[in-house]
Amino acid sequence: MRATKGTTMTGPAISVSGLRFTYGALEAVKGISFDVAPGEILGFLGPNGAGKSTTIKMLTGQLRPSGGGARVLGIDVSTDDPELQARIGVCFEEKNLYLNMSAKENLEFFASLYGIKDPDADGVLRRVGLADRASDRVKTFSKGMRQRMMISRAFINSPDVLFLDEPTDGLDPATAAAIRTTIQEEADRGVAVLLTTHDMFEADQLSDRVAFLNAGEIVALDTPENLKLRYGSRSVKVRLREGDGIREETWPLDDAAAATRLGALMTSPDLLTMHTEEATLEHIFIRLTGRGLAG
Amino acid sequence: MLRKDLALGPRSPLFLYAITLPVVLTAVFQLAFGSLFEPEPRLAIVDDGGSALTAAVQDRGGIELTVLDGAAELRRAVEANDVDVGLVLPAGFDEAVRSGEQPPLELYVSGESYASNRAILSVTILDLVREIEGGTPPVAVQLRQSGEAGLPLAIRLVPVLVMYALFVAGAFLPASSLVDEKVHGTLTALLVTPARMSEIVTAKAALGALMAFVMSIVTLLLNDSLGGNWPDVLAVVLLGAVFASLLGLIIGLLAKDGAMLFTIMKSSGILLFGPVIFYLFPDWPQWIARIFPTYWAIDPIWRVAVLGDGLGDVWGSMVIAVGLGLVLVAVVVRLSRRTLAQLGTAA
Ligand SMILES: Nc1ncnc2c1ncn2[C@@H]1O[C@H](COP(=O)(O)OP(=O)(O)O)[C@@H](O)[C@H]1O
Ligand SMILES: [Mg+2]
């Protein structure tokens, strides 16, 4: 299974073109196209209802596309091919674990579905920090622990492609950070990762490239840096002493007048601090779609 | 997959319910309708003169006979309802009868005994006394059976109990397991692995059939109704178990959640228990039972396991049951496809 990675895989791990899905009359995904390379993390950033989950469901065989097509590891996703399913890992938005089984039993059972005789359930649980709870029933787990279980289950078959639907949604910062680290480790091993989120920090931090998804359409797709370069305006925030108080000035960086003013300020004895402020992905999202990421 | 279901099973209350139910029901019914294991009328005799009547009772069979030493002991046994009827035969009783003396005969009857047992015993005793007298009976009695071989209610209840075992273990267990997987979304998780819907459904059916098989055999054993021929009994019970598990799959595939499952189970109760009611009421027109598809699965069990028939006597029913089973399989396949298609769009 592993042998295919990097060596024989030449094309993209995920290749989507003109993909559409309609729920009855509602067009949830409106003909989107993108590729994900092996070892790449593509972040799908968009508010609730943007069509992120619907896209993942189509790519993992849960929904049949209404139009367009997609290949994962070179296999058409609408063929419902067990060979493809053997090589992908999925983390669902809803936590769907066997609550009456222990953490280890959950993993071992799913491993058995992949025909894995001797799964390293303990190793996988260690990676998500659940090694000491391996034999406890998932029923007794907190929300964050269950989410970590979801991630570990997606890893159990050492997949070549990972689909992660909001993997850190609603988690405390420490747990979220731990999960992001394991996702990054997978990508470093050469796994292609498609990750959805409505958290701009997560998208920024984790993704090699980010796709802005709004109302079923990709409105921008690039590296976080390029997105900021292209759409964001950086600014400089200056703090000055003024009498007994402090005054703040903000100057856009791509402004000629700003350059003159800032040059003058550099030598001023009243200057306290001066730092650039980067546009966030959320700012750019709002600029492109007229709406924020919340709700 | 089946191993997982079997491992998970004991952790669900339903599983325990399925296992204990036949035992509990058997116990309840035996208490309510009389013991299955002592169905014979019980007669105690004090025989002071070596009467031929005592030997004749023994020969006739069908009566549990106790010979006691004294009238006091006999009265105690009757009072305690250890026997239904007690009879004291004084010395010289036989001679007195033969000489036409009409000697008095003391019968003690237990107040708690069944009227049917009293009747059987008194008629039998009078009949035997007439035999001793050597006279010819004034009438020629012709026996005509009406009803299903005149079986006691306790026996006719066995199909109801077996149906319960089949229904709870064979149908309810896989149905609720399937609904559980739907409600908790684990079915979706299974389906993005190489596991196929057909494998998942087959594993559930196997679980149901296995449990139904075991529990039906246990129920038959508890009710002392395992017929004569073991392989034949196993064959008819296996058929019933598979039939029940197919019904369970259909119910499980149709139900979207637990509440809907219970609604369907309740309304399908008549379908499942319709035919076995007719075993309880042999006077009802029995052909009506045959309208129920489940009749064809339970009838071979009734006839082979309870009545002791062979497979040769029930093959007609079995062929019909297999045919209906194939129809159920087709329905399961259709519903599986539908479920698969709906799963992705279920919110
Ligand atoms: N089962 C469904 N039936 C009807 N509409 C749905 C269903 N699931 C999602 N939708 C609609 O499709 C759109 C995209 O939903 P979804 O893919 O879940 O968005 P996201 O994952 O980005 O929050 C939304 O408008 C949502 O209301
Ligand atoms: Mg979603």
What was the pLDDT predicted at A252? 78
- In 3D space, the residue among B110, B116, B39 whose CA is nearest the CA of residue B77 turns out to be B110
β pairing state of A41-45 and B42-47: unpaired
Q: Are residues B328 and B231 in the same domain?
A: yes
B266: tokens are 């309740």
Q: Are residues B280 and B180 in the same domain?
A: yes
Domain membership flag for residue A147: no
* Residue-number span of the structural domain to which A256 is assigned: 233-277
Separation of alpha carbons A125 and A104, rounded Å: 8
Contacts of A92 in chain B (CB under 8 A): 185, 188-189
Q: Is the CB of residue A72 less than 8 Å from the CB of residue A81?
A: no
pLDDT averaged over every residue in chain A: 91
Nearest CA residue ID for atom 4, ligand 1: A23
Q: Is the CB of residue A233 less than 8 Å from the CB of residue A254?
A: yes
**Is the Cα dihedral B27, B30, B35, B39 positive or negative?**
negative
Domain membership flag for residue B236: yes
> What is the amino acid identity at position A82?
P
- In 3D space, the residue among B8, B191, B63, B175 whose CA is nearest the CA of residue A80 turns out to be B191
Q: Are residues B181 and B262 in the same domain?
A: yes
* Residue-number span of the structural domain to which B68 is assigned: 42-133
**Helix, coil or strand: residue A106:** helix
Separation of alpha carbons B317 and B194, rounded Å: 39
Out of B133, B163, B193, pick the residue that ends a domain.
B133
Domain membership flag for residue B142: no
pLDDT in tens, B15-25: 777 777 777 77
What was the pLDDT predicted at A73? 97
> CA separation (Å) from A73 to A37, A60, A135, A183, B133?
10, 12, 35, 19, 100
Domain membership flag for residue B114: yes
A295: tokens are 């709700």
- Residue B45 β-bridge partners: B67, B87
Out of B69, B104, B133, pick the residue that ends a domain.
B133
Does B195 sit within 8 Å of A101, measured CB to CB? no
* A93 C-alpha to ligand 2 centroid (Å): 6
* A283 C-alpha to ligand 1 centroid (Å): 24
- Look at residue B346 and tell me whether its pLDDT is greater than 70: no
- In 3D space, the residue among A141, A150, A159, A140 whose CA is nearest the CA of residue A106 turns out to be A150
Domain membership flag for residue A151: no
Separation of alpha carbons B237 and B107, rounded Å: 46
- Which atom of ligand 1 lies closest to the CA of B347? 1
What was the pLDDT predicted at B34? 57
Higher model confidence: residue A41 or residue B138? Answer: A41
Mutate to test the pocket of ligand 1, among A20, A30, A54, A217 (most ligand atoms within 8 A of CB): A54
Does A61 sit within 8 Å of B191, measured CB to CB? yes
Provide ipTM, 2 decimals.
Answer: 0.85
User: Does B344 lie at the interface with A, CB-CB under 8 angstroms?
Assistant: yes
pLDDT in tens, A150-195: 999 999 999 999 999 999 988 889 889 999 999 999 999 999 999 9
Instruction: Nearest chain B residue to A28 by CA: give it.
Output: B345
What was the pLDDT predicted at A4? 45
Contacts of B194 in chain A (CB under 8 A): 82-83, 85-86, 113-115
Domain membership flag for residue A241: yes
pTM of the model: 0.78
Nearest CA residue ID for atom 5, ligand 1: A23
Contacts of B193 in chain A (CB under 8 A): 85-86, 110, 113-114, 157
Q: Are residues B170 and B227 in the same domain?
A: yes
- Which atom of ligand 1 lies closest to the CA of A44? 22
* B282 C-alpha to ligand 1 centroid (Å): 58
Which H/E stretch holds residue B108?
strand B106-109
Residue B80 belongs to a domain with what CATH number? Answer: 3.40.1710.10
- Look at residue A10 and tell me whether its pLDDT is greater than 80: no
Domain membership flag for residue A107: no
β pairing state of A209-214 and A217-222: antiparallel
* Burial of A291 per CB tally in 10 Å (0-12, 13-18, 19+): middle
**Helix, coil or strand: residue B197:** helix
Separation of alpha carbons B19 and B248, rounded Å: 17
- In 3D space, the residue among B288, B293, B298, B300 whose CA is nearest the CA of residue B326 turns out to be B293
Separation of alpha carbons A115 and A86, rounded Å: 9
What was the pLDDT predicted at A49? 94
Domain membership flag for residue B262: yes
Most A-contacting residue of B192, B196, B197, B199 (CB-CB within 10 A), to test interface: B192
The confidence band for A3, taking pLDDT boundaries of 50, 70 and 90, is: very low
pLDDT in tens, A96-140: 999 999 999 999 999 999 999 899 999 999 999 999 999 999 999
Q: Are residues B169 and B254 in the same domain?
A: yes
Contacts of B345 in chain A (CB under 8 A): 23, 63
Domain membership flag for residue A211: no
Contacts of A99 in chain B (CB under 8 A): 184
Q: Is the CB of residue B117 less than 8 Å from the CB of residue B41?
A: yes
* Burial of B176 per CB tally in 10 Å (0-12, 13-18, 19+): buried
What was the pLDDT predicted at A16? 98
The confidence band for B52, taking pLDDT boundaries of 50, 70 and 90, is: confident
Q: Are residues B205 and B301 in the same domain?
A: yes
Q: Are residues B333 and B187 in the same domain?
A: yes
**Helices B197-222, B158-165: crossing angle, 10 deg rounding:** 150
Domain membership flag for residue B97: yes
**What's the whole-number mean pLDDT along residues A54-81?**
95
Does B189 sit within 8 Å of A90, measured CB to CB? yes
Domain membership flag for residue A75: no
Q: Is the CB of residue A52 less than 8 Å from the CB of residue A165?
A: yes
Number of domains in chain B: 2
Q: Which of B74-78, B113-117, B342-346 has the highest mean pLDDT?
A: B74-78
- Look at residue A2 and tell me whether its pLDDT is greater than 50: no
The confidence band for B248, taking pLDDT boundaries of 50, 70 and 90, is: very high
Out of B87, B102, B133, pick the residue that ends a domain.
B133
What was the pLDDT predicted at B323? 97
What was the pLDDT predicted at B148? 46
Q: Which of A229-243, B264-278, B322-336 has the highest mean pLDDT?
A: B322-336
The confidence band for B8, taking pLDDT boundaries of 50, 70 and 90, is: low
Q: Are residues B29 and B61 in the same domain?
A: no
From the CA atom positions of chain B, what is the Rg in Å?
Answer: 27
Q: Are residues B20 and B48 in the same domain?
A: no
Number of domains in chain A: 1
Q: CA A142, A146, A151, A157: dihedral to nearest 10 degrees?
A: 140
What was the pLDDT predicted at B233? 93
* Burial of B146 per CB tally in 10 Å (0-12, 13-18, 19+): exposed
**Helix, coil or strand: residue B89:** strand
Q: Are residues B28 and B50 in the same domain?
A: no
Q: Are residues B53 and B13 in the same domain?
A: no
Which H/E stretch holds residue A69?
strand A67-72
Q: CA B163, B166, B171, B172: dihedral to nearest 10 degrees?
A: 80
**What's the whole-number mean pLDDT along residues B209-235?**
88
What was the pLDDT predicted at B11? 66
Domain membership flag for residue B143: no
Give one DSSP letter per residue of B198-218, joined into a string: HHHHHHHHHHHHHHHHHHHHH
Q: Are residues B183 and B303 in the same domain?
A: yes
Instruction: Nearest chain B residue to A98 by CA: give it.
Output: B186
Pocket of ligand 1 (CB under 6 A): A 23, 26, 28, 46, 48-54; B 345, 347
